[in-house]
Amino acid sequence: MIGIPQHHAATPSGKPRARGYGIPFDGVPGALNAITDVPGVAVGYTTLISGSGPLVVAKGPVRTGVTAILPRPKAELAQPVFAGIYSMNGNGEMTGSHLIEEVGTFNFPITITNTHSCGVAHDGTLRWMHRLLPGALDAWGLPVAAETYDGFLNDINGHHLTFDHVAAALDGAAAGPIEEGSVGGGTGMTAFGFKAGSGTASRVVEWQGKSFTLGVFVQANYGRRHNLTIRGARVGPELVEPAVIDNTPQKEKSSIIGIAATDAPFLPHQLKRIARRMPLGVAATGGYGYHSSGDIFLAFSTANAEAAGATQSELATASYIPDPEINIFFDAVIQATEEAILNALTANEDMTGRDGNFVPALPRPWLERRFSAG
């Protein structure tokens, strides 16, 4: 659209983002409208798509991958970040969560993949870190690895993700504009009966004459068609077609993983509060946290590096924005979560997977009619 920065309207490969259809949003996005607007944060993907036809376990079809999110530059990944975690509905997994609850920090990259490859992503991260920074593993490591279920489209029991795929995503992680939709861990994911997966957005927050950035990344794989809501309009009932083709009826398995990053200085309890607001962005799209959904959210701050990594015999000092001033960051994380989810839906295409199971993309002609301002 005229007047919208290129990176706000489309992904690097040219897939349309939500703003490209004229969908309006609150708040001020960063230059890339992505989690990588936060200085030092990088994202990498490995995407695995192969085969078609009937499911043959260990052969395919394959519709999966892994996403890597680096909270600091590669040389600094052993340096912890302050963090907070929140599970709105715990029918899912995010490793390292108990450590984050206990001490309010984590280090090493975050990975997101499919449910049955979460362990490979976890262990692959440790192998990669040992190669990159051997001294970082002199004691032990507990990286963050999260998952959502892609077995409707993917041969999930074939365990196609390998340590080399994890390493490729980590090696390829970079700042700058990033792809969305059916890439990385989001490759085989579905939301509201439409093709979804990986999405991102960011907001610039002004506080006391200083400018901070808060970015969100989601792996969206949740929601029922009739609940889909776009900017307050419950549009699901308008979208009975195109329908999902399900040749292998199964129980609903849906989830969303959300990662929020910021360069604003916050303490762990404040980051937990920010993580708790991410489900409000999910709710704005019509996500209600149904029984089988693993809705898990992590927020971290790249500020206060010395305090977050302080060791014994040191008096640590950390700066932080006072709690009464946090509301503008609540606004930012809710806004960015909502937009990241819609970007995962709009920057997508139809996909057919195992057994001919089919998931349509959110129809572009409908989006153009419904939202474009011309």
Q: Which residues are catalytic?
A: 255, 293, 295
Residues in Cβ contact with 314 at an 8 Å cutoff, skipping those fewer than 6 apart: none
At position 139, the amino acid (one-letter code) is A
Q: Which residues contact 311 (CB under 8 A, 6 or more apart)?
A: none
Of the candidates 234, 200, 223, 259, the one whose C-alpha atom is nearest the C-alpha of residue 359 is 223
Among 251, 248, 252, 253, which Cα is nearest to 54's?
Answer: 248
As a whole number of Å, the CA-based R_g of the chain is 19
The H helix count followed by the E strand count for the chain is 8, 16
Q: Is 342 left (phi over 0), alpha (psi -120 to 50) or beta?
A: alpha
Written as six digits, the tokens of 311 are 């060791």
Query: Would you put residue 209 in left (φ > 0), alpha (ψ -120 to 50) or beta?
Result: left
